[in-house]
Amino acid sequence: MGVPKIDSTQKSSGSSVKKKATRSVLLGAAFLMATSSIGPGFLTQTTVFTQQLAASFAFVILISLLLDVFAQINIWRIIAVSGLRGQEIANKVLPGLGVFLAILIVCGGLAFNIGNVAGAGLGLNAMLGIDPIIGAVISAAVAIFIFVVKEAGKAMDRFAQFAGGVMILLMLYVAFTTSPPVGKALVNTFAPEQISIFAIVTLVGGTVGGYITFAGGHRLLDAGIKGVESLPEVTKSSVTGIVVTGIMRVALFLAVLGVVSKGLAIDPANPPASVFKLAAGDIGFRMFGVIMWAAAITSVVGAAYTSVSFIRSFHPTIEKYKNWVIIGFIVVSTATFAFVGRPVTILVIVGALNAIILPLALGTLLIGAYKKNIVGEYKHPLWLTITGGIVVVIMGYLSVVTLIEQLPQVFK
């Protein structure tokens, strides 16, 4: 009896399905990273800085995106080629460093998740008039459901892509309706009238600081996308994540700039909501609710998933019950908001520390990229080492300076 032959059409069909699945994971990882960074803080920071800097904020966006790209490409490539998560690489570079990094990221992720849950509650309040606390509980239930389903990874990918797409479309619509001075913004992108170092540090920290830049890298690892052969795809996915974040940031910036340029007053109590209401009336306010909810709920999912990914390797039990640990993380965040509220002082301190995590983590991984027990025979491109090193130095210095300046104001 002969060996059954495999039809060439069956081979190509199987290959096509695998490629499609890989593309879905790569896009999902990019959107998981992007939507993790686009949270309530992202909306508020972008609005406030645009108010302060007007068209000059375009320069801040450009510089922050360049720093973001260099940081993220380095981190994702090193994770992929080593097949190790961030904390595992750090522990191999210096025993105990991975544990320290994990503690920083988990504490930061938990603190920010309280704000994310609060943002989700406020989003449903603006969208449907639901009480913010009830809205937060409903949102937490939606996030938990994602990790209850059998294929949690795929569910998370699809949810991030859908929510990210909705946010971008609505934001572009609002930007179009405000008729911003695009020409002036374009000029200020390269020749700004004023520069804010604090704004640059805040944007970079909020986009690739803390747990955020590891979200997509760890997701790809969990999906089995690793090794030198996967680097072109990993690099493309990492850049896509930053591009998605950039589109959202630019769209919101232009929307706010359009409102500011008309001399309209933005309500300081809720700046982003005020922009949408001024741009499109009551419908605009409802649209803000949709964007705020989508931004917050995807950040809840991203923060919980990535924070837990930093402690999974510490004990077999955590690895075995990882989805339940993620669910517990979401429950604790929601309960804290429901019964305690948003701990503002903690959020501000952790926000400042978030920017410091980036140079620490990136610097550690760059050292790891030159250790054979971590990356084997892989040779990390010199241009990536240099650009990554520049990000470490710039963000390390600026983060410390900003932290020294901001902390005394917190405890006044």
Could you give the domains of the chain?
36-372+385-410 (1.20.1740.10)
pLDDT surpasses 80 at 187: yes
The string of pLDDT tens digits covering residues 80-121 is 999 999 999 999 999 999 999 998 888 888 888 888 898 899
The pLDDT mean for the chain works out to 86
**Mean pLDDT score, 111-139:** 90
CA 93 to chain centre: 25
Could you tell me the pTM of the whole model? Answer: 0.86
Report which listed range, 72-86, 119-133, 141-155, is most confident. 72-86
